[in-house]
Homo-oligomer: A and B are copies of this chain.
Amino acid sequence: MGTSDVFANLSDQLGWQEELYKDLHRRPELGLQEHRTSERIHQELKDLGLETTSIGGTGVVAVIENGEGPTIMARADIDALPVTERTGLDYASENEGAMHACGHDMHVAALMGAVRILVQNKNAWAGTYIALFQPAEENSKGASAMIDDGLVNKVPHPEVVLGQHVMPKPSGHVFTHAGPMLSMADSVHITIHGRGSHGSMPHLSVDPVVIASSVVLKLQTIVSREVEPGEFAVVTVGSLTAGTQANVIPDRAELRLNVRTYDTDVRNRVIASIERIVRGECEAAGAQDDPEFDYYDQFPLTDNDADVTDRISRAFDAGFEAEVLQPGAPATASEDFSELPDAFGVPYCYWFFGGADQEKYDDAARNGRLQEDIPANHSPFFYPVIHPTLETGTRAQVLAALEYLGK
């Protein structure tokens, strides 16, 4: 039985799948609070006759056993973002201040569609398929919550883990390559302690505004002088806040930095350099108290295994009309996906699938207006077109699964 047969009734399920997608889109929930979302996922899986397990709070796992064969795991993330939707869609968010602005609702609907196809076509494959619905990707807490809750011991050991993400690229296409797909990310909240004073008496102060400003300029030297030319590294000071009034020198300044890298050695050097620079600048200014460094939102590298990615790419090439495309420049988003395969010590493949209307995308590309006209993930205007995005995401999950499990 060829893979094409399993998709014979794909169009039949689209009505159900679209309803599921729109329902999730209307009711976005922030990380670790995905109670209703989790509930609906449990219900859908049970409707397919599957047993479900809650892992890591709002995380959900279903294990589909189908005789002898390999075990693989596919993961979808389920959380939304604290963004106020401005798409104007008739199925726009009804939860004020929350929005599926990163398309995780599409990931859920696609994986659920793949599960349904696999359940309904058990004759086409053999082995064990683990569908994993992960909470709280955006704040990097969901994968670790599931792992901390005993994931590795609660489900069979997969030999490979699969993940996908919808992106502002042409709908109908999938994109992947071996090696680094998504960068590491580290955020750090730095507090610089100076000494406050009246604005007219700077000699009694250790001015944290000046220290912070000098830090910002010196941080530029990490990428410009310390990282090898051509090596990927970003050090962004996204936020700098100090003081509230013109005539009062505050006693502290706070910076929020975001670091992006693709190489652990580079990352470690960058982090060390940030701390060295901040400490050095505090000493240069005569600050009495040490600066503080609080790290958060830390994401690992997403680094596709060569062999797995080769197999899956070939499966995609065969199963889609178009070839798998290169994702282009390394994506600068980050993911906690890879924590899952790392917990099992197994390889993985992660791919993108397009969510932008092809015609609109091509127009924008021709006019050099991609950034203006094709809203990116996290934008209040971002949304995938439902068709053919939903079919593509579903088909990709099934093709990848059958590459390992197909008869």
CB distance from A139 to the nearest CB of B (A): 11
Q: Tell me whether A220 is interfacial, beta carbon within 8 Å.
A: yes
Do A221 and B238 have beta carbons less than 8 Å apart?
A: no
Do A243 and B239 have beta carbons less than 8 Å apart?
A: yes
List CB contacts (< 8 Å) of A22-62 with chain B: none
List CB contacts (< 8 Å) of A215-235 with chain B: 215-235
Given contacts A285-B221, A297-B246, contact A203 B228 (CB under 8 A): yes
Contact of A217 among B187, B210, B229 (CB under 8 A): B210
List chain B residues, Cβ under 8 A from A250. 238-239
List chain B residues, Cβ under 8 A from A314. none
CB distance from A286 to the nearest CB of B (A): 6
Query: Whose C-beta in chain B lies nearest to the C-beta of A254?
Result: B241
Do B280 and A200 have beta carbons less than 8 Å apart?
A: no
Do B212 and A240 have beta carbons less than 8 Å apart?
A: yes
Stretch at the interface among A256-264, A355-363, A390-398: A256-264
List chain B residues, Cβ under 8 A from A231. 203, 230
Q: Tell me whether A247 is interfacial, beta carbon within 8 Å.
A: yes
Do B229 and A203 have beta carbons less than 8 Å apart?
A: yes
Q: How far is the CA of A220 from the CA of B213 in the complex (A)?
A: 11
Query: Whose C-beta in chain B lies nearest to the C-beta of A233?
Result: B229
List chain B residues, Cβ under 8 A from A262. 230
1/0 contact trace for A272-316 toward B, CB 8 Å?
010011011111111000000000010000000000000000000
Query: Whose C-beta in chain B lies nearest to the C-beta of A226?
Result: B203
Specify how many copies of this chain sit in the oligomer.
4
Given contacts A220-B217, A242-B241, contact A247 B209 (CB under 8 A): no
Query: Whose C-beta in chain B lies nearest to the C-beta of A256?
Result: B246
Contact of A234 among B199, B235, B241, B282 (CB under 8 A): B199
List chain B residues, Cβ under 8 A from A76. none
Given contacts A199-B238, A281-B284, contact A221 B207 (CB under 8 A): yes
1/0 contact trace for A202-214 toward B, CB 8 Å?
1111010110111
Do A234 and B284 have beta carbons less than 8 Å apart?
A: no
CB distance from A375 to the nearest CB of B (A): 12
Do A237 and B225 have beta carbons less than 8 Å apart?
A: no
Do B256 and A245 have beta carbons less than 8 Å apart?
A: yes
Q: How far is the CA of A330 from the CA of B200 in the complex (A)?
A: 11
Do A217 and B213 have beta carbons less than 8 Å apart?
A: yes
Q: Tell me whether A189 is interfacial, beta carbon within 8 Å.
A: yes
Given contacts A213-B217, A221-B207, contact A242 B245 (CB under 8 A): no
Do B247 and A236 have beta carbons less than 8 Å apart?
A: yes
Do A189 and B246 have beta carbons less than 8 Å apart?
A: yes
CB distance from A345 to the nearest CB of B (A): 29
List chain B residues, Cβ under 8 A from A247. 185, 187, 236, 238, 258, 297
Most B CB within 10 A of own CB, among A210, A223, A262, A297: A210
Contact sample, A vs B, 11 pairs, CB 8 Å cutoff? A199-B258, A200-B258, A203-B225, A209-B216, A213-B215, A213-B217, A214-B217, A223-B223, A230-B232, A241-B241, A283-B283
Where the two chains meet, the residues of A that have a C-beta atom closer than 8 Å to any C-beta of B are: 183, 185, 187-189, 198-205, 207, 209-210, 212-250, 253, 256-258, 260, 262, 273, 276-277, 279-286, 297, 329-330, 332-333, 371, 376, 378
Known A-B contacts: A219-B224, A226-B286, A228-B329. Give 12 more (CB < 8 A). Answer: A200-B229, A202-B234, A203-B231, A214-B217, A221-B224, A230-B262, A230-B330, A238-B246, A243-B256, A245-B256, A247-B258, A280-B281
